[in-house]
């Protein structure tokens, strides 16, 4: 009996070693270890043997069966590995062929710059509010301390809306010429201290390479009991460095705006020539025109008349004070991305937009 | 404002500071330089005095002459000259070889019709000192003693003809800087240079080597009184605070002296005649406009300043008949209107060649009134724009004094009588001084400025400063400040004086600080702002390019969208003063700008367009928040060159990303610009009255065709309605540790049963175990009876606390099948 077991085991092992495919091995498994195979049947019949032989034969048969199973498993693993190798070779592709096309979208440059500006001012402690694009003369000019004969009110500088039979009230309506109306609108409903920036679309009847009849601004307003011109400088210096680089300096240049007093324009040291006015090749810097400075925005301390126009004791100009500023998003975009003409931004040729996306 | 630097130097000691240096200081103290220009010959050192020795006709050219000119060299120069008035013996200005003339022409050695020519004899215009260009400028006609000047002398030594000119941008609050003396004061304050006495004072006249006679010192009252024989004056409006007249006789109208012409030319004013030139010259120095009447053409010798009657007409100096409005100002003489006051004189009383008596008007006006008139008639002359600022009545005296002296000195005129005056202005009323608290200066600027320093800065600008308590400790004192007349309109409050202190003494080296945010809430985007960014980012992530379109469109846009006239969406907000017909109204729908942009890109060969925009749209209807203003709201719209399901896929992605679950589509064929069979309203919320937040659909082929577009699909969403519905936070529910059970069903239903209805029925029937049910296929055709559709549903069941048994799964399936049969007539297939 034991000889027979040894024979079966040897024959099985030889056949397994000779097998060349996993299918063949499956056939061998059925032939040698399946229900009808001899070896398992030997094991099944062990109980019929003499008690003395049972242990010996059973053990041998079991060992033979396990050995054969192990041999098959090992051979299967071996063959699978080489079959996979062969498959991988057959699957080889030209990896330089194009990938599956995925459409690539992008934000418009103006949105990207607006978000950058918003994020910088969020970091400096400003909230973000937005306001209407159609406005009244009151919020756009009167409450902002524009004299009755201030040229910005002229029809050459402001889009007025035609009278409408559908609207109540005898007010003169316009498209806001700046985001500044939100200064007073916000103070009418908020409590001091106030720290806001107001991004949004504004309108003026201008049309050339650097002026479009619609453009975008970001207004800033900070009102508290002790906000100073030095604070304005600190905030705008931080902003300028965030946008134009850590080495930038700013300069306050006195100016006039009806709604701030004192008023200053802010120049940032030129990021192209490093503020020297001269490029490496010793030519005059084309961006700052050799001056080393670039005007980026207008600002100042909020005029007491603007605070008074709010008409609330909380904004009594003897008690609270602060600064305001307004910048053009297009202007920042032009300076940062080297645009010389604004009009393509509104033509929206996607091939151009994608370059900035 | 053009400021010739040499002329400026007459009023402030520049001490060698050149135009660039002066401009740089002005630039950082509040007077911005628009540009620095050079007036006249570019190379003044190349222009010398010459004497014409010989002058012969050109042998081969009738109009040319061949001259020899002594220009101080060893040999005379031969110069070919085309001027008819050139003659031997003249003293002339010669542009020598190498000179660069105004406009850039360079003088070279040349041959003209065979004759050598080494230089050019100059006309007044070529030298930039006047208008004359019919012949060369013979210096002896304009310059006493010219015949004695040695040839070869630089012309600049005897005649100021070229200058650097600062073109300054004067801010609207500083009409005092619309006069050269005002600029001089700024320069003095900004640079520390010393200001010379004003030219309208006795000291100023002396400074210029002249003597002020009676009435020529504005610091003193005219000793000749307030009457002029034969002339009368009346002001019947409060809009003219002060009107004055002086009379001059023995006037001979002719060209001005060359120095006046040169200065006017450099300042950008065309010389006209000696009388008009003086009015312009004095205006440029004082900032105060003047007007000269021919005294003998002022009918009745009487002038009345009054408000116009609505509709009355007047012929102005330029020959145009103007129709006036009530409240505008006119000047009458005995024959009626003669001038549009402060804006433009009348033709009838204009100074002309034969004028011998001049009546000189200097007046101050209500600025806004003049501004309105000038603006309405588009007549912003140098005079009108200054008068529109509302100048100080005191400036009237400056102009009368200086003009009187110049008329006497350069025209030889004699003044007759005193100064006729009228108007509401009362010189006796003195403005009280303004107080400047030292503490306030520091509180506003963030840096301390001592009272002595404040005093020094204000003093340089002409303010009268008194320190009432010089011993008050630092930080506690107060200055009392008297505002000079020319600054009275601009400086009316403490803060205005603090601005003066700041711009001259503080801003240049202010140390930056940062304000403290005292609100105990972190600065961050609002939920709506975050949601808007999410909207944009989701669409970008789906491969859409954001665009920024025009808020403007033309009045026909609503019609091109096929919106009938009464449709609320067709009611566009109309601009009163549009730039063009293409931009005459505000866009009533974002679709307009998206279609425009799509067409723009299609015509440039871009295919497979996928774009979106967020922005404001407008409607001529009351805004829900501001009833007196047009309705405007924030919208997002997408446009893809594809079918409605492409747009719907984007919409699903968008609303899914915003975590809005309870939205639904309601098919509609009532949106004129959308395909009637492929369009829907989008609602959010439960129930039939859930608010519509937008539209989805394929653009109507007729509309798309109008924009030269193939099939495009769109969705348009009102973000003002949608964003507030976006949940800011959401509680998570566990995914469940137990496996789900899935099965598919194919149901035949009638054609008009929507997929949404089938899903809703299945969801309800599935009960608590149903986790998800969705349609994954819709089939019509072979095997499906006509009028029916086969919908394939994918159903997923799950329980949180157990593995579902076969019985539970089978039960749910049966419930769903039964409900479909009962409620939508669904028949299970296969």
3-state DSSP assignment of residue B311: coil
Determine which of A156-165, B678-687, B730-739 has the lowest per-residue pLDDT on average: B730-739
Report phi then psi at A112, rounded to 5.
Answer: -60, -45
Q: Is B628 left (phi over 0), alpha (psi -120 to 50) or beta?
A: alpha
Whole-angstrom distance, CA of residue B760 vs CA of residue B754:
10
Nearest CA in chain A to B585: A161
Nearest residue, CB atoms, A254 vs list B447, B503, B552: B503
Quick check: A355 contacting B, CB < 8 Å? no
Q: What is the DSSP string of A231-296?
A: HHHHHHHHHHHHHH-TT--EEEEEEEETTEEEEEEEEEE-TTTTTSSB-TTSPBPTTTTTSSEEEE
Nearest CA in chain A to B31: A255
- The whole-number pLDDT of residue B361 equals 96
Instruction: Round to whole Å and give the CA distance between A183 and A204.
Output: 19
Confidence (pLDDT) at B139: 86
Alpha carbon of B488: minimum distance to chain A alpha carbons (Å) = 15
- A4–chain B nearest CA distance, Å: 50
Core vs surface per residue B676-692: b (16+ CB within 10 A) or e: eebbbbbbbeeeeebee
CA dihedral B578, B579, B585, B588 (to 10 degrees): -140
Query: Between B171, B515, B578, which is nearest A224 by CB?
Result: B515
Distance CA B276, CA B407 (A): 10
The residues spanned by each domain of chain A are: 2-90, 109-356
Instruction: Name B471's Cβ contacts closer than 8 Å, sequence gap at least 6.
Output: none
Distance CA B673, CA B718 (A): 17
Q: Which of B192-206, B319-333, B336-350 has the lowest mean pLDDT?
A: B336-350
Closest CA to A190 of A315, A309, A306: A315
- pLDDT value of residue A55: 81
Mean pLDDT of B258-271: 90
Asked whether residue A90 carries a pLDDT value surpassing 80, the answer given is: yes
Decide: residue B591, CB within 10 A, 0-12 exposed, 13-18 middle, 19+ buried.
Answer: buried
DSSP letter string over B25-83? HHHTTT-EEEEEEEES-S-GGGEEEEEEEEEEEETTEEEEEEEEEE-SSSSPEEEEE--
Q: Does A159 touch chain B (CB under 8 A)?
A: yes
Phi-psi region of B634 (alpha: psi -120 to 50; beta: other; left: phi over 0): beta
Q: Does the CB of A207 have a partner CB in chain B at under 8 Å?
A: yes
Q: Find out if CATH 3.30.56.10 is the number for domain B434-508.
A: yes
The radius of gyration computed from the CA coordinates of chain B, to the nearest angstrom, equals 41
**All CATH 2.40.50.140 domain ranges in chain B, comma separated:** 44-161
Point out the least confidently predicted range of A23-27, A144-148, B233-237, B328-332.
A23-27
Which helix (H) or strand (E) element contains residue B182?
Answer: helix B180-191
Whole-angstrom distance, CA of residue B350 vs CA of residue B363: 17
CB contact under 8 A, B545 and A354: yes
Least confident span in A307-311, B62-66, B460-464 = B62-66
How far apart, in whole angstroms, are the C-alpha atoms of residue B183 and residue B31? 9
- Residue A78: Cβ within 10 Å count: 13
DSSP A280: T
Q: What angle do CA B171, B307, B378 make, to 5 degrees?
A: 45
Minimum mean pLDDT range among A112-126, A326-340, B137-151, B162-176: B137-151
Would the pLDDT of B235 be above 90?
A: yes
Chain A hits for B720, CB-CB cut-off 8 Å, are none
Structure tokens at B591: 């679709």
Fold type of domain B222-422 = Phenylalanyl-tRNA Synthetase; Chain B, domain 3 (3.50.40)
Report CB contact under 8 Å: B524, A226: no
- DSSP at B197: P
Beta strands in B157-239 (DSSP E): 163-169, 232-235
**A residues 334-353 near B, CB within 8 Å?**
345-351, 353
pLDDT at residue A125, as a whole number: 95
A59 vs B: CB within 8 A: no
Between chain A and chain B, the number of residue pairs with CB atoms below 8 A apart is 260
Burial classification of residue B426, based on how many CB atoms lie within 10 Å of its CB (0-12 exposed, 13-18 middle, 19 or more buried): exposed
Which residues have C-beta within 8 Å of that of residue B408, sequence separation ≥ 6? B213, B216, B414, B415
Q: Which of A108, A193, A201 sits opposite B547 (nearest CB)?
A: A108
C-alpha dist (Å) from residue B656 to A102, B142, B682, B771: 21, 87, 14, 17
Q: What is the CATH number of domain B741-828?
A: 3.30.70.380
Q: For residue B305, give the nearest of B426, B425, B386 by alpha carbon.
A: B425
What per-residue confidence (pLDDT) applies to B569? 82
Of A11 and B532, the structure prediction assigns the larger pLDDT to: B532
B752-811: pLDDT as tens digits = 899 999 999 999 999 889 999 999 999 998 889 999 999 999 999 999 889 999 999 999
Contacts of A241 (CB under 8 A, 6+ apart): A247, A248
Q: Do the chains contact at B547 and A175, CB–CB below 8 Å?
A: no
- Whether the per-residue pLDDT at B729 is higher than 80: the answer is no
Q: Which residue of A has its CA nearest to B495?
A: A261
Q: What stretch(es) of chain B map to CATH 3.30.930.10? A: 527-725
pLDDT of residue A203: 97
Regarding beta strands B302-307 and B232-235, do their DSSP bridges make them parallel or antiparallel, or are they unpaired? parallel
Cis amide bond preceding A193, omega within 30: yes
Write down the residue that tokens 């809005």 correspond to: B660
Which of A113, A134, A308 to mutate against chain B (most B CBs within 10 Å)?
A134
| Whole-angstrom distance, CA of residue B809 vs CA of residue B770 | 10
Rg of chain A over Cα atoms, rounded to whole angstroms, equals: 41
pLDDT at B570 (0 to 100): 87
A13-17, B130-134, B486-490 — most confident range: B486-490
pLDDT per residue over A107-127, tens digit each? 999 999 999 999 999 999 999
Three-state DSSP class for residue B551: coil
Facing residues of B47 across strands? B95
Contact status, residue A338 vs residue A272, Cβ threshold 8 Å:
no
Tell me what the mean pLDDT of segment B646-675 comes to: 94
Q: Which CATH number fits domain B44-161: 3.20.20.140, 2.40.50.140, 3.30.479.10, 3.40.605.10?
A: 2.40.50.140
Interface of A with B in 284-313 (CB under 8 A): 301, 303-304
| Model confidence band, residue A238 (pLDDT cutoffs 50, 70, 90) | very high
Q: What are phi and psi of A240, to 5 degrees?
A: -60, -40
Question: What confidence tier does B565 reach under pLDDT thresholds 50, 70, 90?
Answer: confident
Cβ contacts of B627 on chain A, cutoff 8 Å: 167-169
What are B425-463's pLDDT values in tens digits? 998 888 899 999 999 999 999 999 999 999 999 999 999
What tokens appear for B711 in the block? 């099939």
Which two three-digit tokens encode residue B527?
A: 């939920």
High-pLDDT (> 70) share of chain B, %: 100
Architecture of domain B527-725: 2-Layer Sandwich (3.30)
Residue B259 host element (H or E) = helix B258-266
Please report residues of A whose CB lies closer than 8 A to that of B514.
Answer: 124, 231, 234-235, 238
Quote the CA–CA distance of B542 and B708 in Å, as a whole number.
25
Location of structure tokens 């931009």:
B583
pLDDT per residue as tens digits for the range A41-60: 777 777 787 888 788 888 88
How far B119 CA sits from the closest chain A CA (Å)?
A: 34
For residue B804, give the DSSP letter: P
Residue A249 pLDDT > 80, yes or no? Answer: yes
Least Cα separation, residue B507 to chain A (angstroms)? 6
What pLDDT is recorded for position A25?
86
**Contact yes or no for A134/A174 (Cβ under 8 A):** yes
> How far is the C-alpha of A222 from the C-alpha of A307, rounded, in Å?
12
Reply yes or no on whether the pLDDT at B607 is more than 90: no
Question: What are the beta bridge partners of residue B714?
Answer: B639, B697
Fold of the domain spanning A109-356? BirA Bifunctional Protein; domain 2 (3.30.930)
Percentage of chain B lying above the pLDDT 90 cut = 74
- Picking from B286, B251, B241, the residue whose alpha carbon sits closest to that of residue B383 is B286
Please give the angle made by the CA atoms of B74, B76 and B77, to the nearest 5 degrees: 120
Strands B414-422 and B434-437: unpaired
Task: Report CB contact under 8 Å: B171, A348.
Answer: no
The answer to whether the beta carbons of residues B728 and B781 sit under 8 Å apart is: no
The predicted pLDDT at position B500 comes to 97
d(CA A255, CA B27): 9
Nearest chain B residue (CA) to A158 = B577
Contact B321, B337 (CB under 8 A): no
Q: Is the pLDDT of residue B159 over 90?
A: no
Instruction: Point out the residue among B550, B577, B600 whose CB comes nearest to the CB of A159.
Output: B577
Res B185: pLDDT: 97
- Is the C-alpha dihedral spanning B53, B54, B60, B63 positive or negative? positive
Q: With contact defined as beta carbons under 8 Å apart, do A231 and A238 qualify?
A: no
Enumerate the residues of chain A whose CB falls inside 8 A of the CB of residue B510.
229-230, 233, 252
Domain B2-40+164-196 has CATH 3.30.56.10: yes
């Amino acid at each position: 009996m034991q000889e027979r077991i040894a024979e079966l085991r040897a024959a099985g092992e030889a056949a397994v070693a000779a097998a060349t495919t996993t299918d063949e091995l499956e056939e061998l498994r059925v032939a040698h270890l399946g229900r009808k195979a001899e070896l398992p049947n030997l094991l099944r019949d062990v109980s019929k043997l003499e008690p003395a032989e049972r242990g010996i034969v059973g053990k041998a048969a079991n060992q033979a069966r396990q050995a054969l199973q192990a041999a098959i498993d090992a051979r299967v693993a071996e063959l699978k590995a080489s079959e996979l190798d062969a498959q991988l070779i057959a699957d080889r592709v030209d990896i330089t062929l194009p990938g599956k096309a995925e459409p690539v979208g992008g934000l418009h440059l103006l949105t990207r710059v607006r978000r950058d500006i918003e994020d910088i001012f969020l970091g400096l402690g400003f909230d973000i509010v937005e306001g209407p694009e159609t406005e009244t003369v009151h919020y756009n000019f009167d409450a902002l301390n524009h004299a009755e004969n201030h040229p910005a009110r002229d029809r050459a500088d402001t889009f007025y809306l035609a009278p409408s039979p559908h609207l109540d009230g005898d007010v003169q309506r316009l498209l806001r010429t700046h985001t500044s109306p939100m200064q007073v609108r916000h103070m009418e409903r908020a409590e001091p201290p106030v720290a806001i920036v107001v991004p949004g679309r504004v309108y003026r009847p201008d049309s050339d390479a650097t002026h479009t009849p619609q453009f975008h601004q970001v207004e800033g307003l900070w009102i508290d009991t002790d906000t100073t011109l030095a604070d304005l400088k600190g905030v705008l210096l931080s902003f300028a460095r965030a946008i134009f680089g850590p080495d930038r300096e700013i300069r306050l240049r006195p100016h006039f705006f009806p709604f701030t007093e004192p008023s200053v324009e802010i120049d940032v040291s030129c990021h192209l020539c490093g503020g020297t006015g001269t490029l490496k090749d010793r030519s005059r810097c084309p961006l700052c025109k050799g001056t080393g400075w670039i005007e980026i925005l207008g600002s100042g301390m909020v005029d007491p008349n603007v605070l008074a126009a709010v008409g609330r004791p909380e904004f009594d100009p003897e008690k609270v004070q602060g600064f305001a500023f307004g910048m053009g998003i297009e202007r920042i975009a032009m300076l940062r991305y080297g645009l010389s003409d604004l009009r393509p931004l509104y033509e929206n040729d996607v091939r151009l937009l994608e370059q900035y996306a | 404002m053009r400021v010739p630097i040499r002329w400026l130097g007459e009023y402030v000691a520049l001490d060698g500071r050149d135009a660039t240096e002066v401009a740089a200081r002005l630039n950082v103290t509040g007077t911005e330089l628009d540009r620095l220009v050079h007036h006249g010959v570019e190379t003044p050192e190349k222009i010398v005095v010459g004497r014409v020795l010989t002058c012969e006709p050109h042998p081969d050219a009738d109009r040319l002459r061949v001259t020899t000119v002594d220009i101080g060299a060893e040999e005379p120069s031969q110069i070919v000259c085309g001027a008819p008035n050139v003659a031997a013996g003249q003293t002339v200005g010669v542009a020598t070889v190498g000179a660069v003339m105004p406009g850039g022409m360079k003088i070279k050695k040349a041959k003209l019709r065979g004759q050598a020519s080494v230089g050019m004899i100059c006309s007044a215009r070529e030298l930039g000192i006047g208008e004359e260009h019919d012949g060369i400028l013979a210096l002896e006609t304009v310059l006493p003693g010219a015949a004695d000047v040695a040839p070869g002398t630089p012309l600049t030594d005897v005649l100021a003809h070229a200058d650097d000119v600062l073109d300054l941008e004067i801010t609207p609050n500083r009409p005092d800087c619309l006069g050269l003396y005002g600029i001089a004061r700024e320069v003095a304050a900004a640079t520390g240079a010393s200001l010379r006495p004003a030219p309208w004072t006795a000291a100023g006249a002396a400074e210029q080597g002249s003597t002020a006679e009676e009435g020529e010192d504005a610091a003193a009252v005219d000793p000749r009184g307030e009457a002029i024989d034969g002339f009368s004056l009346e002001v019947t409006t409060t809009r003219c605070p002060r009107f004055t007249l002086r009379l001059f006789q023995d006037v001979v109208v002719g060209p001005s002296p060359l120095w006046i012409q040169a200065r006017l030319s450099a300042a950008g004013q065309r010389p006209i005649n000696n009388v008009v030139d003086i009015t312009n010259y004095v205006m440029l120095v004082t900032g105060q406009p003047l007007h000269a009447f021919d005294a003998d053409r002022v009918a009745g010798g009487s002038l009345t300043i009054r408000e116009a009657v609505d509709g009355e007409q007047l012929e102005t100096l330029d020959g145009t008949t103007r129709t006036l409005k009530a409240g505008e100002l006119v000047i009458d003489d005995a024959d009626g209107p003669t001038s549009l006051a402060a804006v433009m004189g009348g033709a009838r009383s204009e100074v002309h060649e034969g004028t011998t008596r001049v009546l000189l008007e200097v007046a101050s006006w209500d600025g806004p009134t003049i501004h309105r008139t000038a603006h309405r008639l588009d007549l912003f002359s140098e005079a009108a724009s200054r008068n529109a600022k509302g100048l100080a009545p005191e400036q009237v005296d400056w102009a009368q004094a200086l003009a009187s002296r110049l008329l006497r000195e350069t025209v030889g005129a004699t003044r007759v009588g005193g100064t006729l005056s009228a108007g509401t202005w009362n010189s006796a009323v003195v403005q009280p001084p303004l107080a400047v608290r030292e503490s306030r200066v520091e509180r506003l600027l963030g840096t301390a400025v001592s009272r002595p320093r404040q005093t020094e800065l204000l003093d340089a600008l002409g303010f009268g400063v008194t320190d009432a308590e010089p011993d008050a400790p630092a930080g506690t004192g107060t200055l009392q400040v008297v505002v000079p007349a020319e600054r009275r309109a601009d400086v009316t409050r403490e803060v205005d004086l603090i601005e003066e202190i700041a711009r001259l003494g503080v801003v240049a080296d202010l140390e930056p600080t940062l304000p403290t945010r005292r609100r105990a809430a972190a600065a961050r985007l609002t939920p709506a702002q975050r949601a808007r960014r999410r909207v944009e980012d989701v669409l970008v992530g789906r491969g859409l390019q954001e665009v920024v379109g025009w808020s403007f469109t033309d009045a026909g846009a609503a019609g091109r969208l096929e919106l009938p006239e009464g449709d609320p969406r067709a009611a566009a907000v109309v601009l009163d003063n549009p730039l063009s017909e293409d931009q005459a109204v505000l866009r009533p729908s974002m679709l307009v700008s998206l279609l425009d942009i799509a067409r723009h890109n299609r015509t440039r060969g871009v295919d497979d367009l996928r774009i979106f925009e967020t922005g404001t749209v407008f409607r001529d209807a009351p805004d829900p928040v501001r009833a007196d203003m047009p309705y405007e709201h924030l919208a997002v719209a997408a446009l893809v060159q594809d079918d409605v399901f492409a747009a719907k896929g984007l919409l699903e992605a968008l609303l899914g990303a915003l975590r809005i679950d309870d939205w639904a589509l309601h098919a509609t064929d009532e949106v004129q610009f959308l395909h009637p069979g492929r369009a829907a309203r989008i609602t959010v919320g439960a129930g039939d009255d859930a608010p519509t937040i937008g539209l989805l659909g394929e653009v109507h082929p007729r509309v798309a065709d109008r924009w030269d577009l193939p099939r495009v699909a769109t969705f348009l969403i009102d973000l003002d309605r949608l964003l507030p519905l976006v949940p800011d936070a959401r509680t998570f529910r566990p995914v469940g540790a137990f496996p789900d059970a899935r099965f598919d069903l194919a149901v035949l239903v009638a054609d008009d049963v929507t997929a949404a209805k089938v899903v809703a029925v299945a969801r309800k029937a599935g009960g608590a175990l149903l986790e998800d049910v969705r349609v994954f296929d819709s089939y019509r055709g072979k095997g499906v009876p006509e009028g029916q559709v086969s919908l394939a549903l994918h159903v997923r069941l799950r329980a949180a606390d157990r593995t579902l048994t076969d019985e539970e799964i089978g039960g749910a399936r049966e419930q769903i099948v039964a409900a479909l049969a009962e409620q939508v007539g669904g028949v299970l297939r296969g």
